[in-house]
Amino acid sequence: MKDVIYDAYLGRIQRGELTPDDRLVDTAIAAEFEVSRMPVRDALMRLTHEGYLASTTRGFTLPTLEPRQILEIFELRRLLEPRAAALATHELTADDFERMQQAVTLSESTLETGDIEALYRASEDIRRTWVMAVPNAELRDTIQRYMVQIQAVRMATLRDTQAHRVLVAFHRRMLETFKSRRSADVELLLMRFVLAGEDSYLRVSGREADTE
């Protein structure tokens, strides 16, 4: 049962269903799955060991990262994601493109609605679609792990109007570039995408001066 609970909560984390304000308490989860606390604790401790959760005196939460850690993760993204996306280019299927198209349509609709949660879901759907197409399993798993760790950062930047517009434009370009099957263009676009995300974080957090 601990594996079932682990898989269930890993999925919820990766789909963005948990927020930094959520606290996972073993007794509540045990009641949800109708089991004792032991398999729940085992599952939550495994997620903590793998970096998906942090343990506190009041339960388990998504990790809180220091600014230094966030910038280091952006550096890791610059090193890994452009190449990973290039590798995924020729692996994406017609169904993948249909899912991405639906997500892009949702993303573009948020320019009118201002629905940040919908924008987040669209962004996650696009990212998850191309990441799952990466043929290198170790590379794919690494990207999934660190992206979970900066969900709070992404939610904060998405609420910025300028970052919102930039992200929506990138979503459309990303779909079109993937569909072109030109891996070099995909690699370049993903580098620009990561850099834009880092610029948004630095601007929203007011940390430009710290990096000069």
State percent of the chain over pLDDT 70: 93
Question: How do residues 10-54 score in pLDDT, each as one tens digit?
Answer: 888 866 678 778 899 999 999 999 999 999 999 999 999 877 888
Residue ranges of the chain that CATH labels 1.10.10.10 = 2-61
Strands 54-56 vs 59-61: parallel, antiparallel or unpaired: antiparallel
d(C-alpha 198, C-alpha 73), whole Å = 10
Per-residue pLDDT, 135: 98
pLDDT digits (tens, 9 = 90+) for 164-191: 999 999 999 999 999 999 999 999 999 9
Pair 175, 121: CB distance under 8 Å: no
Topology of the domain comprising 2-61: Arc Repressor Mutant, subunit A (1.10.10)
CATH 2.40.40.20 describes domain 67-211:
no
pLDDT tens-digit series, residues 135-158: 999 999 899 878 776 766 776 788
Residues of the chain with CATH 1.20.120.530: 67-211
